[in-house]
Amino acid sequence: MDANDTLQEIHEALFPEIHVVASMNHRHMTELMKMVDSFDIKTRGMTDFRHHSKWLLLRQEENTVDLQVFRYLENVIVVPHHYKCWLQSVFTLKRHLTRNEWVPVAACNQRNINLCYFPNTAYGYNNRRLVVTTLESSVFIVKSTNNGTTQYKGYAIDVLDTLAAALNFSYSITEPQDKSWGLPVNETYDGIVGQLNRTEVDLAASDLTIHDGRSQFMEYIYPPIRTEYIDVVYKRHDKQRTTSLFLLALPFRPLVYLILLLMAGLCALLLAVLESVDFGGNETASDSGDVGFTSVKKVKQNLFSACWEVTGSLFKQGFSKYPRTLSGKVFVMSWWMLLMVMTTVYCANLVAALSAETDVKTFSDLEGLLDSDYSVGIERRGIAAQILESSLPSSVNGRIWAKISTNDPVFLESNAEVHFKRVRSEKYAFLEYRSTINHLMTEFEDFQLEVLGEHVLWFQLAFGLPQRSPLKADFEKVMSQLSASGILNVLWRKWSVNRNLTHCPRERVLKSIGVTQIGGGFIIVCAGTALSIIVLILENRIHLMQK
């Protein structure tokens, strides 16, 4: 029979617990074990006899199988064919860093019998070297080159190192030549997904978005390493001063002005009454002409003067003639105290209104973004662009893509840093993972950048494996432990960035006051001039009529 087909059937039927007993002569035993030892390489890692199989070899000769045969297999026992003193003749394969050796089982002092027969099971994958693919992606993968040596770090690398420590494997990192995470091309996928589909790599350690289309060409390691969403970053407009012809009236609400006018009228009436009271006939010679006037006539006589004095006091002019009576002086003192408070508050608020700057937001949601004059962009390498492109044209996502597609196609192929520079220099909104946005906003230190706060798309990010990879069960077991124990959250806090706005530099720029900001004062002067002319004409008419 074909030994390769037999080994494939054995693996499919028994994985992950492959227990095999082999009995044959020394030559055939050596050929079989040599074939099994290299079988995982022939299948490009789609089988795992190396770690998940245990072999019990019943030898028919005194000599053992040559150690040079075992380059990868980890769990092998050789048992003699006779029964006399068989325990002293049972040997197990033990791996060292630089060599392998046959160790007598009788010499084992382990309490765990399984470790006596298969000592290599205590060391996980026994420093197996895996080929890992990845791509640079802000906090997930940070790539740097020093003296010609490329180094990788980031959240995904920390998770990978934790997996490597738990399963005892080493790795080498490669990248897809097309620098793509994986997009559909000619009924297959390019980028990282294409590498997994062609079994060119053993593992993808990156922020790989979980997507149904990709699942047909690869497998994900669950649970995901992170849940992310796409947000929008843009640069807000410069702050502007409030401009209004009615700016002089802004410090107070209309109700305050109404109450103040009512109190001014009441104050004038009370002042006229108080000034008309006479106790004991203490009238001067100049007042002797007033003898015989009734109290009502005195109030009428003083009312016009009181109204004029109270009106002048509203504009901080004071009184041109002080009250005659003591009660009037006390009343005027209380009125002035009220005016001091009112004018102080008014002046303070007026100064603030003239000098304060306000943010002018062009939009506050996706609908506003679509209706604005901002351009919109996104990286084409990820799956998010494909999802937006496949959305219905009438939907919000479809309208977003219609606005994105108006950009230069060459520019859309740029990385996130290039998009971010465009955000800072023009009216441009960029769609990106929120974690990446926070990282870039902190890196560029531009405190005029704003995040829209809209969750355009939700994604779960996970590591990837080739389809039917024998590593899946072991990796998912460890990943579940990392997620349940909170280790993934601890690693994420190490790399996540929260934007701190408490230390934003404030640029102090002296800006002149425009005409539109104090235009209300000119309107009042013009209205007062027109009113004085009308009063002059009326006085002239009354004078002519009396004459």
| HEC letters along 350-385 | HHHHHHCEECCCCCCCHHHHHHCCCEEEECCCCHHH
The pLDDT value given to residue 284: 47
Q: How far apart are CA 118 and CA 153, in angstroms?
A: 36
Which residues does 311 contact at the CB level (< 8 Å), separation at least 6?
264, 268
Beta-bridge partners for 429 = 376
Query: End-to-end distance of the chain based on CA atoms, in angstroms?
Result: 141
Please state, in angstroms and as integers, the Cα–Cα distance from residue 522 to each residue in 511, 519, 532, following that order. 21, 5, 15
The pLDDT value given to residue 509: 47
State the amino acid at position 50 in one-letter form.
R
Residue keyed to tokens 């382990």: 110
The pLDDT value given to residue 38: 92
> pLDDT means per 10 residues in the chain (547 residues)?
86 93 87 92 92 88 78 89 62 84 81 86 91 91 88 94 95 92 90 94 94 93 93 74 62 78 79 66 47 60 74 68 70 74 76 65 81 86 84 89 81 77 87 85 75 87 95 95 94 77 49 52 62 74 81
The pLDDT value given to residue 526: 66
Residue keyed to tokens 């089982």: 105
The pLDDT value given to residue 476: 96
The pLDDT value given to residue 525: 54
Using only the alpha carbons of the chain, give its radius of gyration: 44
The pLDDT value given to residue 87: 55
Using H for helix, E for strand and C for coil, what is the string for 147-213? CCEEEEECHHHHHHHHHHHHHCEEEEEECCCCCCCCCEECCEECHHHHHHHCCCCCEEEEEEECCHH
Beta-bridge partners for 172 = 131
Three-class secondary structure of residue 103 per DSSP: strand
C-beta pairs of 473-476 under 8 Å, 24+ apart in sequence: 473/16, 474/167, 475/163, 475/167, 475/203, 475/221, 476/221, 476/222
238: part of which helix (H) or strand (E)? Answer: none
Sign of torsion over alpha carbons 420, 421, 424, 430: negative
The pLDDT value given to residue 311: 75
The pLDDT value given to residue 241: 54
The pLDDT value given to residue 292: 43
Q: What angle do CA 346, 347, 353 make, to 5 degrees?
A: 90
Q: How far apart are CA 452 and CA 366, in angstroms?
A: 8
Given a contact cutoff of 8 angstroms between Cβ atoms, the answer to whether 435 and 233 are in contact is no
Three-class secondary structure of residue 434 per DSSP: helix
